[in-house]
Structure 1
Amino acid sequence: MMSKLTIPVTKHDHLQGNLHAGCSLVEYGDYECPSCGEVQPIIGKLQAHFGNQMSFVFRNFPLREIHPWAEAAAEVAELAGSQGKFWEMHDLLFANQNNLSESTLQSLVDQLGLSEVKMQQARSNGTLKSIVEGDFAGGIRSGVNGTPTFFLNGDRYDGPVDFESFVALIDQVLISDGD
């Protein structure tokens, strides 16, 4: 039994591309996960290859037990998102994933010119934490148990995560949905 995405993609997700694209790729990821880091360039190539036929959504799934900075990184990404810079922070976090720390996160916040005040407020009132926990809970309900976990048009994809395999699968999805 293949697991399904239980939380549908909406305009409230961190989405690149058209919400109504023929193919929707959702990743549950962790900014400190090496495999998530390795797959980011592949996703970029897929986006370039499929253009407006594909949308990409990133949802937080920090594996707190093994990645001590994953949750803080996810919160910083959400902070950036609240100021219209989610994807810039997303890319910076993956680029710096091997040296995440309080000072690294602080320098990325400064680099993107994010509001220090908003960060302190969001941290103290737990807004960012609750967004990240919402993503995590949705992932659990969809059967996510590790990162990266992908869903293609709502169906979990557990196959190889190389460019060619994704292209073959997405082509198949686009053809079958076109009937």
Structure 2
Amino acid sequence: MRRDAVTKLDFAVCARDHIFGADTARLTLVQYGDYETQACDQAHVLLKAALECFGDDLRVVFRHFPFNSHRFQAQRAAEAGEAAAAQRRFWEMHEVLFQNRTRLSDRHLRLYASHLGLDMPRFNRDMAAQTHVVRVREDFLSGVRSGVNESPAFFINGWRYKGPLDVASLHSAIEDVAEVAI
């Protein structure tokens, strides 16, 4: 990974983040993304392949970045992800939201929550009260402070990845960082 093509992650990974993978992983990939864009859907597939390839050496962090004000459904989907997280079901909802990225109306979000077995009165209260708007905004602002202006955006061990969104390029960048992380 070329250092001239990177910037540093401004907000370090911490307990508030949604982390998938081993705590002992020596590689951390932070993604800023949303649930509505095709590019983020493609990135989701890439990250699943990276997790399979790198195993316990890699953990993935997802942060919300519904950057376009016209993407109301992406914002609401992010809030639904957080409402599921409040019930310890973030990653299950995360997967469902990507599988249904063209169907993110409030009615659909409630349906997904119900299928996941979430406490529906609690989920509905959280969504109606916009309980998780602040959390989504904090993720968004941490991305802005790190130079993110589109989604998806990736940081590998704190360094911005600006390469192509394909398996070979992303894996090569992860391997480059892995050599330094030994």
TM-score range, shorter chain: over 0.9
Counterpart of 1:103, as a letter, is R
Picking from 88, 91, 96, the partner of 1:87 is: 91
The CA distance in 1 between the partners of 2:67 and 2:36, in whole Å, is 8
Picking from 149, 153, 159, the partner of 1:155 is: 159
TM-score when scaled to structure 1? 0.93
Kept in 1: contact 2:161–2:173 (CA 8 A): no
Aligned to 2:170: 166
The CA distance in 2 between the partners of 1:143 and 1:173, in whole Å, is 20
Q: Alpha-carbon deviation of 1:82?
A: 1.1
Q: Alpha-carbon deviation of 1:20?
A: 4.0
Number of residue pairs aligned between Structure 1 and Structure 2: 178
Picking from 72, 75, 79, the partner of 2:79 is: 75
Counterpart of 1:145, as a letter, is N
Q: How does 1:136-155 map to 2 (within 5 A)?
A: 136-155=140-159
2:111 paired with 1:107 = yes
Kept in 2: contact 1:14–1:58 (CA 8 A): yes
| Aligned-partner SS, 1:27 | strand
Structure 2, unpaired ranges of 5+: none
TM-score when scaled to structure 2? 0.92
The CA distance in 2 between the partners of 1:159 and 1:42, in whole Å, is 13
The CA distance in 2 between the partners of 1:123 and 1:149, in whole Å, is 26
Q: Alpha-carbon deviation of 1:22?
A: 1.4
Q: How does 1:20-35 map to 2 (within 5 A)?
A: 20-35=24-39
Counterpart of 1:93, as a letter, is L
| Aligned-partner SS, 1:15 | strand
Structure 1, unpaired ranges of 5+: none
The CA distance in 2 between the partners of 1:121 and 1:102, in whole Å, is 13
2:67 paired with 1:63 = yes
Aligned alpha-carbon RMSD (Å): 1.4
**Percent identical residues:** 37
| Aligned-partner SS, 2:71 | coil
